[in-house]
Structure 1
Amino acid sequence: MTTVTNLNQFRKTKARKDKRASADENAVKFGRTKAQKDLEKARAEKDRRDLDGKSTT
């Protein structure tokens, strides 16, 4: 005798997997970690301060 499969549950599980796969793809394409964002912000701020310090106005 075979087991009974709940099709609603199967459909929802498949949708979750598809959504997760799509999110993972987007994270690879566009995502940066918080540490990377903070580092980039700190470097930009330092560059700005260095440039302001070197100006001769």
Structure 2
Amino acid sequence: MAEVVNLRTAKKRLARAKDAAQGESNAVKFGRTKTQKRFEKAEAARAKAALDGHRRDP
């Protein structure tokens, strides 16, 4: 005998799986989190400050 399936929950489950797949592709496509962006910006500022600290006066 076949198992009874609630169509409403099956549709919701399918929609969640579709949304999760879309989210994964967007994460790969667009890349970094806000924390990673802030860290890279701080690293660039730190490197610029170190470089400017070694600059000789003309």
TM over 0.5: yes
Q: Distance in 1 between matches of 2:18 and 2:3?
A: 25
Q: Which residue pairs with 1:27 in the alignment?
A: 27
Q: Can you give the 5+ residue segments of structure 2 that lack an aligned partner in the other structure? A: none
Stretches of 4+ aligned residues off by more than 6 angstroms:
none
In the alignment, does 2:7 pair up with 1:7?
yes
CA distance in 1 between partners of 2:56 and 2:17 (Å): 55
> Structure 1, unaligned stretches of length 5 or more?
none
Percent of residue pairs bearing the same amino acid type: 45
State the 1:56 CA deviation. Answer: 4.3
| Structure 1 Cα separation of the partners of residues 4 and 31 of structure 2 | 41
Q: Tell me what 1:42 maps to.
A: 42
Greater mean deviation of Cα atoms: 3-12 or 41-50: 41-50
Q: State the alpha-carbon separation in 2 of the partners of residues 18 and 55 from structure 1.
A: 58
**Cα distance between partner residues in 1 of 2:23 and 2:56:** 45
Question: What is the aligned residue count?
Answer: 55
The CA deviation at 1:44 is: 1.4
Q: What is the CA RMSD across the aligned residues, in angstroms?
A: 2.2
- Alignment TM-score, normalising by the size of structure 2: 0.70
